[in-house]
């Protein structure tokens, strides 16, 4: 357990998960928290990250910063998804080790699992068959991150834990139409289609002022980039929104609507993350008591001697192969994208049409995780999807005031 005065650096503290973790730590009495915005600290810049760790010397790190997005974004920016996330992870994890950080929590994603993994997906199905092509680069980066944590623990006796959350949603979610995840994108599309039908241009312009929209649209054999905000011409606004399937009382969503998805409220994810940060050690996950002291040469006061590692260079023969030490975080429950759209429609009070474009990709058809390891470590979710969708729309409406 970290002391209440421990300095904890939350990387990505303004993001969906990072902000929720920050608030959860505060609610538990951890007030010595450190955060930096992207403008203040570019985590892809190795020199800047080293300088930050030199100055702050955190006791613990939560790595919730990442370059993220949905199917469209993953398709458009494949190189960015790989490179940006690898840079962030390598810089933060290596500097955490160099500055003797006591505990590190790495947040990944359940997209790490194979496209055709047995359902529900256990941690042990990692790297057993090919990944889903549409998010392959992001998945590979996250696999590298969890393997970094695992390998540092095995080689150096560190205490770095990786958690793999399912699809998340909640306060501070990203509603950007070009690179957001399925639920917030769907919610905003339905809301805007309703406003167009109601001819409520005051609300439409307010929405676009707070969250401008860009689109690259093919025209006459070329790709033309458009950017719209609350001051844009009405005809241009309707053109760009139509590109995203948003029309008068009608929304067209990608795919068939049949893929199954699991969703976790971000504040539940934060609670699970902080639970793991404060109560779970690497030895607890691999089920070996006194792992550090036995295999990494503990000092007389019980601390780990990082200059000695019986396992330097690979697995420890006496323990056998150690892998898949990450922890799935989710609800263990699922629904179809079409069922999700029905919950969104109900929350918004939309009376128009929701259509599905089957010519567009569905992504992975099913993605349910096994959460038995998480439950065995003492945590279960609280917010069910029916309540969560309404809570998210209420938050979105408040964000427009």
Candidate from 49-58, 282-291, 316-325, 374-383 with smallest mean pLDDT: 282-291
Residue 299, pLDDT above cutoff 70:
no
pLDDT at position 180: 77
* DSSP alpha helix (H) spans, 179-243: 182-197, 201-210, 234-243
pLDDT of residue 76: 64
**In the annotation, is 9 catalytic?**
no
Q: Is the model's pLDDT at 292 over the cut of 60?
A: no
Q: Given 113, 138, 152, 244, which residue is catalytic?
A: 138
DSSP bridge partners of 335: 261
Give the pair of three-digit tokens for residue 39.
Answer: 């403008």
Those residues whose C-beta lies under 8 Å from the C-beta of residue 364, and which sit 6 or more positions away, are: 111, 115, 132, 259
User: Is it the case that residue 115 has pLDDT exceeding 80?
Assistant: yes
Tell me what the mean pLDDT of segment 180-200 comes to.
Answer: 95
- Domains of the chain, start order: 8-170+263-329 (3.40.50.720), 182-260+333-368+383-399 (3.90.25.10)
pTM: 0.84
Residue predicted with more confidence, 96 or 15: 96
pLDDT of residue 69: 61
What distance in Å separates the CA atoms of residue 342 and residue 348, rounded to the nearest whole number?
Answer: 10
Residue 175 banded pLDDT, cuts 50, 70, 90: very high
Helix, strand, coil percent content, the chain, rounded in steps of 5: 45, 15, 40
pLDDT band at 349 (very low <50, low <70, confident <90, very high): very high
Closest CA to 72 of 156, 174, 207, 221: 174
Long-range contact pairs involving 338-346 (C-beta distance under 8 Å, separation at least 24): 338/257, 338/258, 340/182, 340/183, 340/186, 340/261, 340/263, 340/385, 340/389, 341/186, 341/190, 341/253, 341/257, 343/385, 343/386, 343/389, 344/183, 344/186, 344/187, 344/190, 344/389, 344/393, 345/190, 346/389
Share of the chain above pLDDT 70, in %: 90
Give the mean pLDDT of the chain.
90
DSSP 268-319: HHHHHHHHHHHH--HHHHHT-TTHHHHHTTB-TTS-B-TT--TTTTS--GGG
Q: Which of 220-224, 263-267, 294-298, 371-375 has the lowest mean pLDDT?
A: 294-298
């Amino acid at each position: 357990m970290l002391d209440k005065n421990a300095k904890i650096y939350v990387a990505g503290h303004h993001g969906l998960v990072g902000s929720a973790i920050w608030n959860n730590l505060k609610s538990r009495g951890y007030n010595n928290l450190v955060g930096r915005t992207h403008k203040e600290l570019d985590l892809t810049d190795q020199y800047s990250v080293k300088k930050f760790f030199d100055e702050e010397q955190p006791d613990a790190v939560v790595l919730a910063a990442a370059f993220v997005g949905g199917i469209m974004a993953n398709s458009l920016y494949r190189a960015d998804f790989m490179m940006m996330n690898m840079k962030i992870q390598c810089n933060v994890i290596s500097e955490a080790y160099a500055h003797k950080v006591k505990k590190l929590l790495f947040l990944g994603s359940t997209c790490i699992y194979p496209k055709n993994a047995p359902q529900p997906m256990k941690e042990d199905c990692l790297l057993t068959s090919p990944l889903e092509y549409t998010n392959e680069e992001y998945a590979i980066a996250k696999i590298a991150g969890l393997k970094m944590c695992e390998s540092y623990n095995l080689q150096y006796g560190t205490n770095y834990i990786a958690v793999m959350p399912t699809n998340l949603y909640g306060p501070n979610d990203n509603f950007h139409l070009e690179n957001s995840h399925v639920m917030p994108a769907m919610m905003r599309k339905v809301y805007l289609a309703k406003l167009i039908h109601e001819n409520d241009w005051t609300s439409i312009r307010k929405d676009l002022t707070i969250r401008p929209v860009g689109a690259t649209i093919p025209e006459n054999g070329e790709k033309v980039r458009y950017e719209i905000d609350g001051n844009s011409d009405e005809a241009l606004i309707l053109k760009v929104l139509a590109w995203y399937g948003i029309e008068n009382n009608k929304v067209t969503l990608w795919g068939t609507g049949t893929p199954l998805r699991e969703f976790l409220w971000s504040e539940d994810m934060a609670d699970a993350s902080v639970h793991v940060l404060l109560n779970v050690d690497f030895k607890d996950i691999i089920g070996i008591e006194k792992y550090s002291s036995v295999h990494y040469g503990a000092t007389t006061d019980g601390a780990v001697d990082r200059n000695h590692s019986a396992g330097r260079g690979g697995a420890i023969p006496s323990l056998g192969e150690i892998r898949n030490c990450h922890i799935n975080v989710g609800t263990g429950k699922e629904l179809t994208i079409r069922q999700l759209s029905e919950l969104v429609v109900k929350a918004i009070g939309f009376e128009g049409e929701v259509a599905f474009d089957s010519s567009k990709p569905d992504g992975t058809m099913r993605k349910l995780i096994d959460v038995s390891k998480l439950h065995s470590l003492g945590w279960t979710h609280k917010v069910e999807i029916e309540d969560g969708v309404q809570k998210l729309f209420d938050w979105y409406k408040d964000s427009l005031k």
